[in-house]
Amino acid sequence: MESVCSKKHSLFLFALSLSFIIHPIAAQDCSLPNNNDIRTALRLLLLIDDPIGLPNPTIFGSVQYVCMAQGDTINTYTSLSLVATYTPNPGQPEATSIFQMGCVSGGWYGYGGLDTPHASVIGAAPRIDCSDCRNSGGNDRCVGCIEGYTGDDCSNNIDDCDPNPCNNGASCMDKVANYSCICLDGYTGRNCSIEINECDTNPCQNGATCTDQVADYSCTCAQGYTGKNCSTNINDCSPNPCQNGATCTDQVADYSCTCAQGYTGKNCSTNINDCSPNPCQNGATCTDQVADYNCLCVQGYTGKNCNTNIDDCNPNPCQNDATCTDQVADYSCTCAQGYTGKNCSTNINDCSPNPCQNDATCTDQVADYSCTCAQGYTGKNCSTNINDCSPNPCQNGATCTDQVADYSCTCAQGYTGKNCSTNINDCSPNPCQNGATCTDQVADYSCTCAQGYTGKNCSTNINDCSPNPCQNGATCTDQVADYNCLCVQGYTGKNCNTNIDDCNPNPCQNGATCTDQVADYNCQCVQGYTGKNCSTNINDCNPNPCQNGATCTDQVADYNCQCVQGYTGKNCSTNINDCSPNPCQNGAMCTDQVADYSCTCAQGYTGKNCSTNINDCSPNPCHNGATCTDQVADYNCQCVQGYTGKNCSTNINDCNPNQCQNGATCTDQVADYNCQCVQGYTGKNCSTNINDCNPNPCQNGATCTDQVADYSCTCVQGYTGKNCSTNINDCSPNPCQNGATCTDQVADYNCQCVQGYTGKNCSTNINDCSPNPCQNGATCTDQVADYNCQCAQGYTGKNCSTNINNCNPNPCQNGATCTDQVADYNCQCAQGYTGKNCSTNINDCNPNPCQNGATCTDQVADYNCQCAQGYTGKNCSTNINNCNPNPCQNGATCTDQVADYNCQCAQGYTGKNCSTNINDCNPNPCQNGATCTDQVADYNCQCAQGYTGKNCSTNINDCNPNPCQNGATCTDQVADYNCQCVQGYTGKNCSTNINDCNPNPCQNGATCTDQVADYNCQCAQGYTGKNCSTNINDCNPNPCQNGATCTDQVADYNCQ
């Protein structure tokens, strides 16, 4: 009973402290409480009134809300006063009380106490204009008004425009706990105390100075500009100061004139003197014209500037490809080789005197001659006797002797025939023996022996026992291309090199490794086994290694302990740590227990393993429809648009910063704002100036610039006035000259010139020579409405357009076609003729097209070449290919020569046609009695036994590779070797281990195992020593107890 009272007392103190602690905490917004929230608050207040009882109230019907203090978002509240009818516990009488509930951290709690409701509040509508609900049951349920309201019922809006905070005649508009000022034009700011500086946006252009005014500005323009903003450049080209058709370009307070061709000066009034400096050459006279000049040439020159000398070489008077050099009214001809005369028309006779020898006939050519030789001679002058040994017809190194139209060949050894091209067959009759194949060579032969034979004629049987292939002391018997080895005991194989494997099949058990020995074996046991064949398993459970009552099971070279519950480890000596791995989550601390653990959770987690995150979103602390996201020992509210704050209880002031421009008043709304614009502005933010240029009042293409309640028009060139409706008269003053009539146009004028004048202002006399009507280089002289053409030589007519026909009458001969030219003609000759009038037959042999000493005979438009010996073709330019067909043999390369050829032999061959194989065995390069066999550009030495190398000069090292085994030292001999064995080995190659177990040194039934120069005795049970000759004393130490006498036996003892 005492413990129950103590427990109730503690609960009472907790509830009492909660009721005083919770209320002062800054409230958060909550939606209306549910029935369970109200029962929880009521239970706490009943416990405060009766700490001894354990209330479990039941609420009847619906509660009545008396006061509802609004939260920051819609349908949320910070505190409530409500009336409820209930029973404290089942079976107790009903009661009706008024009490308060507060929203703390997103949840509802009861505070204050339980009071009897005042009659005035029963059935009355709830107060919703309270900043907080009063903690009493009286009629006055509110505690203070919300900001901006006053009065007993908080229904009066405080007038924030009294006194008026707005300056400079602005109108004040009252709001809830706020105000806004509607400024007059020219002012801005919260209270319209700031004068707008219209010069801040710098409206003045082109370096103008801006002066601020109230709701206006004025611009002082720089020189050359005008207009409201000084944006209009004054047109210095109106009226046009430029003359003679020049184009005027307006500049700032200035202008520039782009003159028509031929004029210069500021206003283009000066005609340029095209004769200064004088462009005419060679003493010609210059006459100036407008943008042009005329040169009157002295005799002998022509062209625009009289700089062209008349070409007396056109047409060319020089003949036979002579070069013509023009001179003044003359020419000179540089003749091609072989011609002479004024026009190079005479061929020089190269056969006088006669250069040909040995009765040869000379034929004259152009700058050359040809000799037709008598039979047996050749050369330019027929002075060379033809060598019938060139090219050399003799083959295979034969010597050629020249004769008259013939030759004779002296053959090298081994060849015969007219040209020494036949090799004498040294294989007939066949000198090779024992079925060998004979290959003929030059003055020699080679025998390819059948297997097992060697020597020049293959008469020697090869000794296959030298060197001896048999190993381990075996005896070798030679056979034909083979041998036979008689093995000593214990070896087998072709060469007796295989030791008989006593480990096959393997006698060793349980994975032991078998080592073969001579007629024996040794078993290397794996761990855990023993015995000759490793068949005995060692007991690893004796003595018992397992601890803490574990059961030991023997295994191979191991054991297994079956631990009792709670222990682990090889020997069951380790207590199991239930905290490894750590079962506790989220940073919790694990404490190990016996077959269990406990977790100390980090803040925000609960559960056996601290895996459950406490839901800080239940109850929901977020207001105004925000979404709550639970976090660890915290929460996050995702606010709907327009709200902010930890619990989304604060309405975002969309007027801070103020989005409204140009002095507009901003009124905050939920996730929005409203701007009340001052006069002259519009748009969401009052940022748009009303466009006074829409519709456009400016006319004639003028540009309208909007201003505040005004506009200005920038006129296109030619118009003026407020709206640019007046056309400027460009004919006042009259710009037209020489009696022309002026017609005004828009920003321009047109001059109707009198006959004979032209140009923009009719100031230019029309030049009837421009463009020049005179053709073909004629000179034009301007006249009044007329011109005169002075024709160049060869032309006639008004405009000098008629070419005088120099082909009438026709000067061309021999059917040539005449083409008229200027003061000349050209004859297109028929094939085979040349010359100015085509009167000369072309010499097709000049220059001589025939090559290689051929004789040329001229024909009509053709020629004939009589070729010298060895050439062919139209021009005798083709050398007859003496390499086709190829006379060279054995892969030699053929090079064609004149009536001859040369063979570049492949390595190893010689002779005219490379048909002779060079004998590389002469002299004999093989040493030490070796037989030399000639090959192509090589040789092969068949070495005598015991020698090797290209020339059989190297003695074969029979110790490499080393045939001696087991560390023996090898001494090389001729076709043999000697092995000096280390201790314990014998045999030809020291490959036989001496059996130290024969005779058997081991005693008392011991097993002897041979080793290298040693042995090992595996003693029978009860014996020891090198030879197992010592009986083990089983009485030492004495196993007998209680004073008994021990008698030693073999592997045993007896206690007396």
pLDDT tens, residue by residue, 825-856? 899 998 888 888 888 888 889 889 999 888 99
Q: Does 900 have pLDDT greater than 90?
A: no
Dihedral, 93, 97, 102, 108 alpha carbons, nearest 10: 30
- With respect to residue 163, please indicate whether it lies within any of the assigned structural domains: no
Q: Does 979 have pLDDT greater than 90?
A: yes
- With respect to residue 540, please indicate whether it lies within any of the assigned structural domains: no
Question: 427: Cβ–Cβ under 8 A, 6 or more apart, which residues?
Answer: 438, 439, 440, 445
Residue 391 amino acid letter: P
Q: Which helix (H) or strand (E) holds 908?
A: none
Q: Does 15 have pLDDT greater than 70?
A: no
- With respect to residue 863, please indicate whether it lies within any of the assigned structural domains: no
State how far the alpha carbon of 925 is from the alpha carbons of 445, 951, 956, 957, in Å: 17, 6, 19, 22
| CB-CB contact of 452 with 480 (8 Å) | yes
- Range from 126-140, 771-785, 909-923, 929-943 carrying the lowest mean pLDDT: 126-140
According to the per-residue pLDDT averaged within each range, which of 303-312, 516-525, 753-762, 1006-1015 is highest?
1006-1015
- With respect to residue 700, please indicate whether it lies within any of the assigned structural domains: yes
Q: What is the pLDDT of residue 552?
A: 93
The residue among 183, 182, 190, 191 whose CA lies nearest residue 214 is 183
Average pLDDT, rounded, for the chain: 85
CA-based angle 776:782:786, to the nearest 5? 95
CA distance 339 to 318: 11
Summarised one tens digit per residue, pLDDT across range 866-887 is 888 778 888 898 888 889 889 9
Dihedral, 267, 270, 274, 276 alpha carbons, nearest 10: -110
- With respect to residue 262, please indicate whether it lies within any of the assigned structural domains: no
Mean pLDDT to the nearest integer, 465-494: 85
DSSP 30: B
Number of structural domains in the chain: 3
Domain carrying residue 1050: 1007-1055
DSSP 324: E
| CB-CB contact of 398 with 419 (8 Å) | yes
Where does a domain end: 673, 706, 727? 727
| CB-CB contact of 535 with 527 (8 Å) | no
Q: Does 148 have pLDDT greater than 80?
A: no
Task: Find the farthest-apart pair of alpha carbons in the chain and give their distance in angstroms, rounded.
Answer: 178
Q: Does 380 have pLDDT greater than 70?
A: yes
Mean pLDDT to the nearest integer, 908-915: 90
- With respect to residue 953, please indicate whether it lies within any of the assigned structural domains: no
For the chain, the first-to-last Cα distance in angstroms comes to 84
| Chain centroid offset of residue 120 CA | 87
Q: Does 334 have pLDDT greater than 80?
A: yes
State how far the alpha carbon of 220 is from the alpha carbons of 198, 214, 709, in Å: 15, 17, 21
- Tokens 């003053």 locate to 733
Q: Which helix (H) or strand (E) holds 38?
A: helix 35-49
Reading the block at residue 167, the tokens are 């300056």
Strands (DSSP E) found in 715-866: 719-720, 726-727, 741-745, 748-752, 757-758, 764-765, 779-783, 786-790, 795-796, 802-803, 817-821, 824-828, 833-834, 840-841, 855-859, 862-866
Query: Bridge partners of 109?
Result: 102
| CB-CB contact of 244 with 763 (8 Å) | yes
**Residue 944: φ, ψ to 5°:** -70, 160
Q: What is the pLDDT of residue 519?
A: 63
- With respect to residue 476, please indicate whether it lies within any of the assigned structural domains: no
Where does a domain end: 137, 158, 179? 158
Query: Bridge partners of 827?
Result: 818
- Range from 6-15, 713-722, 765-774 carrying the lowest mean pLDDT: 6-15
CA-based angle 497:498:499, to the nearest 5? 120
State how far the alpha carbon of 867 is from the alpha carbons of 359, 363, 850, in Å: 19, 14, 8
pTM over 0.75: no
| CB-CB contact of 958 with 972 (8 Å) | yes
Residue 4: pLDDT band (50, 70, 90) is very low
Rg (CA), the chain: 69
> Long-range contact list for 19-23, CB < 8 A, 24+ apart?
19/44, 19/45, 19/48, 19/110, 19/111, 19/112, 22/102, 22/104, 22/109, 22/111, 23/102, 23/111, 23/112
Residue 184 amino acid letter: L
Summarised one tens digit per residue, pLDDT across range 241-255 is 898 888 999 888 888
Q: What is the pLDDT of residue 405?
A: 59
Residue 143: pLDDT band (50, 70, 90) is low
Q: Does 330 have pLDDT greater than 50?
A: yes
- With respect to residue 705, please indicate whether it lies within any of the assigned structural domains: yes
Q: What is the pLDDT of residue 13?
A: 39
Q: How many CB atoms lie within 10 A of CB 283?
A: 11
Summarised one tens digit per residue, pLDDT across range 106-132 is 899 888 788 888 887 888 888 877 777
Q: Does 22 have pLDDT greater than 70?
A: no
The residue among 221, 224, 203, 225 whose CA lies nearest residue 212 is 203
State how far the alpha carbon of 713 is from the alpha carbons of 67, 232, 494, 719, 853, in Å: 67, 10, 124, 11, 100
Reading the block at residue 519, the tokens are 């007629």
Q: Does 140 have pLDDT greater than 70?
A: no
Where does a domain end: 122, 139, 158? 158
State how far the alpha carbon of 576 is from the alpha carbons of 2, 579, 592, 594, in Å: 44, 9, 9, 8
Q: Please count the CA atoms within 13 angstroms of the CA of 780 that sit on its side-chain side.
A: 22
User: What percent of the chain is modeled with pLDDT above 90?
Assistant: 21
Q: Does 144 have pLDDT greater than 70?
A: no
Mean pLDDT to the nearest integer, 364-381: 84
Q: Does 157 have pLDDT greater than 60?
A: yes
Which CATH number covers residue 700? 2.10.25.10
What is the DSSP secondary-structure string of 88-132? SSTTSPPEEEEEEEEEETTEEEEEEEEEPPPGGGTTPPPB--BSS
CA distance 85 to 98: 9
Residue 192: is it exposed, middle or buried by C-beta count within 10 angstroms (0-12/13-18/19+)?
buried
